[in-house]
Amino acid sequence: MSESNADSAFSRTDVTQARAVLLDQLVKHAYQWRPHDEFKLASGKTSPEYFDCKLALSQPEAMAALGPVVLALIDQSVAAIGGLTMGADPIAMSASQASARTGHPVRWFSVRKEPKVHAQKKLVEGDVKPGERVAIVDDVVTTAKSTLQALAACVAEGLKVVQVIVLVDRQESNGLENLRTAAAKAAGREVPVVSVFRRCDIVEEWRRRNPETSAETRSKSSDRVSAHD
């Protein structure tokens, strides 16, 4: 990957500090552990563990930290960043806004789940044009269904997807590897796929802050992860 956009405006220290803030916000707001009243998942299964990144990305501290962290991963050739609404929206907006401080501003766009039923009937909203190089982002990946939906829409619009950035890899259902394979197939070439954090990064920090969590519940947590995507 080429030199990132962040290098011209955000130092390595800036990005490291922003990453620490972002992890803090995910631990405080996104990770939920409820062993005695388990979450019912979309699959019908239950789990004591759940990630809701939208709760974390609702926080101003998280949004301020998000831009520099994502920009540090964006290829210099990328003209725009976006993904499936609404999980990708705060990531794309924050990175785009932060890029205004660099020598290479990056626009943001949003992919609808369904096309508009009137006017231009757009599926991809924003100032992006066929042939432009874009990065797909998503807040979490479990099965990668939503990320792949966004990628397919972008390819159909004639956009050149050059990378995929995921905020949290839940390390379940082989999601990230499936995403790499599917992205390469859709794009007709290898597409770099990276995550900012893995589930284990967040859980480890949460456990450090909650030492009362027993070995039994920690074991249960590692075996049963939310399948929400």
- Per-residue pLDDT tens for 145-178? 899 999 999 999 999 999 999 999 988 888 899 9
Does residue 229 fall inside a structural domain? Answer: no
Show the domain range for 179.
5-223
Q: How many domains in the chain?
A: 1
Q: Residues 98-142: pLDDT tens digits?
A: 999 999 899 999 999 987 776 667 899 999 999 999 999 999 998
Residue 3 has pLDDT above 80, yes or no: no
Is 228 part of a structural domain of the chain? Answer: no
Where are the extended beta strands (E) located within the chain?
A: 31-33, 39-40, 46-47, 49-51, 80-84, 107-111, 124-125, 133-141, 160-169, 193-198
For the domain that residue 68 is a member of, what is the CATH number? 3.40.50.2020
Which residue bears the tokens 């949290």? 168
User: Does 161 reside within a domain?
Assistant: yes
Q: pTM surpassing 0.85?
A: yes
User: Quick check: is 212 in a domain?
Assistant: yes
Q: Is residue 12 part of a domain?
A: yes
Spatial separation of the C-alpha atoms in residues 108 and 44, rounded to whole Å = 35
Q: Is residue 62 part of a domain?
A: yes
Residue 217 inside a domain? The answer is yes
Structural domain includes residue 207:
yes
Q: What is the pLDDT of residue 40?
A: 79
